Amino acid sequence: MKNSILHYSVGALLYCPANNKSIVLSIITERFGRLFSLALCLEDTIRDDCVEEAEEILVSSLRTIYFHHQTDDFYLPKIFVRVRSPRQIPLLTERLEEASTILSGFIIPKFSLENADEYIQTIQAVNEASKNKIYMMPIFESPSIINLLDRYQLLYTLKEKLDAVAEFVLNIRVGANDLCHKFGFRRHSTESIHSLRPIANILSDVMTVFGMDYVVSGPVWEYYHGANWKSGLETELRQDRLCGFIGKTVIHPNQIPVVNAAYMVSEHDLKDARVILDWNPDHNSLVAGSVQRERMNEYKTHYNWAQKTIMLAEVFGVTQQTLA
């Protein structure tokens, strides 16, 4: 299991088209707060005939943010670029020059057997030439994982490939909307992705294969205004977290504080986690009542949970509320 704060700290990943020129001012003025990450998208949000222009704007935006950050004190989020193809990765890194130091990595869309080797080799090559580590975040959203006859073998084969470069894999991400598209599904603001069984089963399989070794982020919630958008997001986040997903792709700033609040740790859980991690494994008994004497803590059973709880507390904070 990933045991570094870095892997848990991507959190709410705000998607923005790479040709959005206003993003520079939003970052410099901390319009979105101080606890989120940023994804500049060159893929689905950009028209095919506008990619080159979007690349120009992206490079200009990142260079401007970089130079402002040399003199101004503002929150600099982790910044990722969602690319269309492997060739964009070295080209953009080179064009950014010194500004590439504020780039955390690249998001790999529709990660599949057809493109995995080329993306992985490209990330390795870029890191060999870079002074700072450049991460990758593959997205499992390709229609190829829908096929039940092939899914398990496909996922484990892709995991084997990623395991070879695990030091460069920051998160595993899932693209539920692309998968829903294949079925013609669209959930309403009162419905959770975890109730769409064909999609939920795919997400569960991704978690089963990757969740013991990687941080897997939750899928996008497309509602940000109107009736039920917040309560619906809160419901899905509770289910995300219960199923092991950490963080979430967001498409509007309204969603950022909701995601951050959902991953706060209760004082109750934090106290139990500390007790479990401080346990002497040589003690005669490896089981005891919890701090509040309402559940059982077991050293061997809850150690991984305790590690994860401590890291979530460090990233998202602690709440006195009992989490439902």
DSSP 298-320: EHHHHHHHHHHHHHHHHHH-EES
Mean pLDDT, rounded, for 222-240: 98
Q: What is the pLDDT of residue 198?
A: 98
Which residues pair with residue 298 across a beta bridge? 287
Q: Whole-model pTM?
A: 0.96
Cβ(26)–Cβ(32) below 8 Å: yes
Q: Give the tens place of pLDDT for each residue, 102-161.
A: 999 999 999 999 999 999 999 999 999 999 999 999 999 999 999 999 999 999 999 999
Mean pLDDT of 199-211: 98
- Which one-letter amino acid corresponds to residue 169? V
Q: What is the pLDDT of residue 95?
A: 98
Q: What percent of the chain has pLDDT over 90?
A: 90
In this prediction, residue 323 carries a pLDDT of 58
Whether residue 2 has pLDDT greater than 70: no
| Average pLDDT in the chain | 95
Question: Are 171 and 247 contacting, i.e. CB atoms less than 8 angstroms apart?
Answer: yes
Record the tokens describing residue 317, joined without a space. Answer: 């904070």
Write down the pLDDT at residue 280.
77
pLDDT band at 294; cut points 50, 70, 90: confident
pLDDT tens digit sequence for 17-37:
999 999 999 999 999 999 999
| 81-100 pLDDT tens trace | 999 999 999 999 999 999 99
User: Is residue 1 very low, low, confident or very high in pLDDT (cuts 50, 70, 90)?
Assistant: low
* DSSP per position, 71-135: TS-----EEEEE-SSTTHHHHHHHHHGGGGGGEEEEEETT--TTTHHHHHHHHHHHHHH-SS--E
Write the Ramachandran bin of 242: left for phi over 0, alpha for psi from -120 to 50, otherwise beta: alpha
Mean pLDDT for the stretch of residues 295-323 = 91
Rounded average pLDDT over 248-272: 97
Structure confidence by residue, pLDDT tens digits, 43-79: 999 999 999 999 999 999 999 999 999 999 999 999 9
Which residue has 């003025």 as its token pair? Answer: 29
